[in-house]
Structure 1
Amino acid sequence: MAIRRLSRLAVVGLAFVVVTALALVAAPPASAHGYTNAPISRSLFCKQGVVTNCGPIQWEPQSVEGPKGFPSAGPVDGTLCAGGLSRFSQLDDPRGGAWPTNSVRSGQSYQFKWHLTVNHATTDFRYYITKPGWNPAQKLTRSALDLTPFLTVPYGGSRPAYDITHSGTMPSRSGTHLILAVWTIADTGNAFYQCSDVRFS
């Protein structure tokens, strides 16, 4: 009788373990960090469903984390928007230049915004833009970018708020361009990368 009871308990315990394991496999990863919401990034457009066929980034717009040190180090060319992560490669696909754009103006005072889900100790936030004549139908490379950031916001290792705004000025451009925002973490070897398509009117 005792053996039969122990067997039943073992079966119930095993079933619980299997169900829990399956739930963990089926659920999207819970890691979370941050994304830009002004200008709206490719990651956020995917989360909002404005852009479809995005892959797992639609559940994790905050998780584009790659090696820091950009532009001398960091993700390789052609993988910058995905932070070098193959599972987010849809962010690097130029889609023939058809990504939705944020409307901006040259010389405009602009409020650059991030939503963070983990506020890591931070070195800085840097904002880069593509050079005049950039082709939006091509993957982003260092040679396509002005590698001097047009806005740098230092944090010196402090932790930013969960919703932050950086005041800056839009560079002088015309037509469609790409802004690469890089959030460099102070106490790890990584940074977070966000690409936002903009159109200068």
Structure 2
Amino acid sequence: MDHRDHAGTARPARRATGARLVLTLLSAVTLVLIPWAGPASAHGSIVDPASRNYGCWLRWGSDFQNPAMAQQDPMCWQAWQDNPNAMWNWNGLYRDNVGGDHQGAVPDGHLCSGGLTEGGRYRSMDTVGPWKTTDVGSDFTVKLYDQARHGADYFRVYVSRQGYDALTQPLRWSDLELVRETGRYAPAQDISIDVSAPGRSGRHVVFTIWQASHMDQAYYICSDVNFG
């Protein structure tokens, strides 16, 4: 089931306002129905190319107990087995009070979990393996859905260097190349950032730092892509 087929939880950045309402209501209903799910965090994440946990929620949120996931989408399977709240709270992968010292707060090997933030809730995002990818070209757009309209002091978008093997290597800061740093963004639900990452082919990781502007709150988001 891909993004186009999943109308009930359609990607907010590509759907009308009514779809956003459905997405919000579905999240709320799901949290009521699943007794072990933690409280929803009305924050945001990169929805295109989909962050790891957003993609797992998008594909499997309505069918998360299906054993077929283990074969069809093994990285999402291990994530759901480890901590389902990582997907229910796909928009809450952040750290407070980092003070701009991102590399100090988030060590190598734990970039995709925000340095094991939220008590390690998102640790499965660091697992190395065949995460589902989004096809992109050398020029593409990173899209944020900011449900709480936090705005941004800046975004930093990194892409893994050619030669990095996402299938076998934990992600390190030295594996990344900064391809775009922005200025401030006013509060809005949908924010698009155009980036250019030439000279790449095959599987890569897009790593986005979103420094929210409402307080010292930094989001660390891994998206898996395939440069065709």
TM-score, normalisation: structure 2: 0.68
Structure-2 residue corresponding to 1:142? 173
CA distance in 2, matches of 1:94, 1:193: 17
- Higher relative contact order at CA 8 Å, sep ≥6: structure 1 or structure 2? 1
Q: Structure 2: which 5+ runs fail to align?
A: 1-32, 61-72
Structure-2 residue corresponding to 1:101: 133
Deviation at 1:117? Answer: 1.7
Q: What is the rounded CA distance, in whole Å, between the counterparts of 1:131 and 1:26 in structure 2?
A: 39
The equivalences for 1:52-201 within 5 A come to 52-54=77-79, 55=83, 56-66=85-95, 68=98, 69=100, 71-84=102-115, 85=117, 86-95=120-129, 98-106=130-138, 108=139, 110-136=140-166, 137-146=168-177, 149-155=178-184, 159-201=186-228
SS at match of 2:105: coil
Change (3 A) 1:90 1:102: same
Please state how far the C-alpha of 1:115 moved relative to its aligned partner: 0.8
Richer in helix (by share):
2
Distance 1:27 1:196, change over 3 A: closer
Provide the alpha-carbon RMSD of the alignment.
Answer: 2.2
Contact 2:208 2:220 in 1 (8 A): yes
Structure-2 residue corresponding to 1:6: none
What percent of counterpart residues are identical? 31
Q: Is the 8 A contact 1:66 1:75 kept in 2?
A: no
Contact 1:179 1:197 in 2 (8 A): yes
Structure 2 match to 1:5: none
Q: CA deviation at 1:180?
A: 0.2
Aligned-pair distance for 1:82?
A: 0.9
TM-score (norm 1): 0.76
Deviation at 1:74, TM superposition (A): 2.9
User: How many aligned positions are there?
Assistant: 171
Distance 2:88 2:220 in 1: 16
Describe the SS at the equivalent of 1:103.
strand
Q: Which stretch has the larger CA shift, 52-61 or 122-131?
A: 52-61
Letter in 1 for 2:194: S
Q: CA deviation at 1:71?
A: 4.6
Decide whether aligned partners of structure 1 residues 74 and 186 sit closer, same or farther in structure 2, where only a CA change above 3 A counts. farther
Q: Distance in 1 between matches of 2:219 and 2:90?
A: 11
CA distance in 1, matches of 2:77, 2:44: 20
Aligned residues of 1:131 and 1:144 also touching (Cα < 8 A): yes
Structure (1/2) with the larger strand percentage: 1
Deviation string for 1:122-153 (max 9, x for gaps)? 2101100111110112211112112xx21122
Tell me, yes or no, if the aligned pair for 1:46 and 1:57 is still in contact at 8 Å: no
Q: Measure, in 1, the Cα distance between the counterparts of 2:105 and 2:215.
A: 13
Structure 2 counterpart of 1:123, one-letter code: D
After superposition, give the CA deviation of every residue in 1:27-51 in whole Å (9 maximum; x if it has no partner): 4222221111111110211212263
AA of the residue aligned to 2:93: V
Between structure 1 and structure 2, the one with the greater Rg is 1
